[in-house]
């Protein structure tokens, strides 16, 4: 028969329970020491940095002790107006090139009020982590910084030269705009005028290049005993070149010389320059030599049927 009387439990009588059965466990955070880096903080600069400031042209220096204990010295440097103006460089393009190559530099145009008159210099940030805390260590670190002090290393010259080229391109475009505007007829659109003017400029430059290349081949022929160099017409229907890329050399008697097909000749600088030159009819049409006053040259032209035939060596009188 099942009893309905309430059970008497140990907790009701005060009797201690069995070990591990009714005990209470109190939990608390463990007291474990975890090392933490100290936060970065600004510290005093070492004394005696005047020489460093002057030598490396840095200013607004401040020192920071980093969380790992290293010293970071930061400041600014500049390219003075005289320098980039004498080099023909626009300051905004110099800033652009500095920032492209050194994004942390934050180069910009600013008057730092270091001069009697206001000047807009190119100012940028510099930061170094010296191997020590003394002045000599800071001096050595600035000496190795690519943008501190005089720009003489290849990397800095690359920034300088790129800014110079970019400035020149900007000025060429401005001059081209002026030339197009002054050359445009009422029937031409600005784009048509620009295309025409650009081709005229190119044709002049390409003609000079072709003339230089021809003179180079004349020198090449003279060095190898040739008296004449002739340029056959280009029979390749897929090109617009008037003259062949492969000239032919002749001796004084009009006999064709066979050495011009040798690889060492065709790898000469003068030969390669002719291969690279624009030989289009519009470029070389005006370079036909006048042989009327040189009967011997006229005779070679007739014998070879090459109108573009030149003397390699000056005619002896």
Report yes or no: 279 and 234 within 8 Å, Cβ to Cβ: yes
User: Residue 18: is its pLDDT beyond 50?
Assistant: no
User: How much is the mean pLDDT over the chain?
Assistant: 82
Residue 154: the pLDDT is 57
Least confident range from 15-24, 145-154, 189-198: namely 15-24
Residue 23: the pLDDT is 47
Q: How far is 279 from 243, CA to CA, in rounded Å?
A: 6
Least confident range from 11-20, 97-106, 112-121, 168-177: namely 11-20
Burial (CB < 10 A; 0-12, 13-18, 19+), residue 313, is middle
Max mean pLDDT range (106-115, 117-126, 222-231, 291-300): 222-231
What is the share, in percent, of the chain residues with pLDDT greater than 90? 38
Q: What is the pLDDT of residues 260-271, one digit of tens each?
A: 888 999 899 999
Residue 291: the pLDDT is 67
Mean local confidence (pLDDT), 14-30: 47
pLDDT band at 305 (very low <50, low <70, confident <90, very high): confident
Query: Could you tell me which residue, 16 or 222, shows the higher pLDDT?
Result: 222
Q: How far is 214 from 247, CA to CA, in rounded Å?
A: 10
Residue closest to 311 by CA, chosen among 226, 232, 243: 226
Residue 239: the pLDDT is 76
Residue 34: the pLDDT is 45
Q: What is the pLDDT of residues 150-166, one digit of tens each?
A: 554 555 778 889 999 99
Mean local confidence (pLDDT), 112-123: 81
Residue 241: the pLDDT is 86
User: Residue 197: is its pLDDT beyond 90?
Assistant: yes
User: Residue 52: is its pLDDT beyond 90?
Assistant: no
Residue 218: the pLDDT is 94
Residue 296: the pLDDT is 82
Cα dihedral 140, 146, 152, 157 in deg (nearest 10): 170
């Amino acid at each position: 028969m099942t009893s309905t009387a309430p059970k008497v439990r140990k907790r009701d009588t005060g009797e201690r329970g069995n070990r591990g059965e009714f005990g209470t466990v109190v939990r608390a955070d463990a007291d474990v020491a975890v090392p933490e880096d100290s936060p970065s903080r600004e510290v005093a600069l070492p004394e005696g940095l005047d020489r460093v400031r002057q030598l490396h042209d840095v200013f607004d220096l401040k020192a920071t002790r980093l969380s790992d204990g290293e010293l970071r010295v930061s400041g600014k440097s500049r390219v003075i107006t005289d320098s980039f103006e004498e080099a023909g460089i626009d300051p905004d393009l110099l800033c652009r090139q500095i920032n492209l190559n050194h994004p942390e530099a934050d180069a910009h145009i600013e008057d730092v009020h270091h001069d009697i008159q206001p000047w807009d210099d190119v100012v940028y940030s510099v930061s170094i982590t010296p191997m020590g805390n003394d002045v000599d260590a800071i001096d050595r670190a600035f000496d190795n910084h690519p943008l501190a002090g005089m720009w003489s290393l290849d990397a800095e010259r690359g920034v300088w030269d790129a800014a110079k080229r970019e400035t020149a391109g900007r000025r060429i475009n401005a001059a081209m705009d002026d030339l197009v505007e002054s050359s445009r007829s009422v029937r031409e659109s600005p784009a048509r005028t620009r295309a025409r003017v650009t081709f005229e400029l190119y044709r002049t430059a390409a003609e000079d290049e072709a003339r230089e290349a021809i003179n180079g081949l004349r020198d090449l022929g003279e060095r190898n005993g040739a008296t004449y160099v002739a340029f056959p017409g280009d029979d390749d229907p897929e090109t617009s070149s008037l003259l062949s890329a492969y000239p032919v050399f002749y001796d004084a008697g009009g006999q064709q010389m066979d050495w011009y097909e040798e690889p060492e000749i065709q790898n000469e600088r003068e030969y390669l320059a002719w291969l690279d030159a624009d030989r289009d009819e519009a470029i070389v049409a005006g370079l036909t030599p006048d042989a009327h006053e040189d009967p011997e040259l006229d005779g070679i032209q007739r014998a070879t049927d090459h109108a573009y035939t030149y003397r390699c060596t000056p005619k002896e009188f």
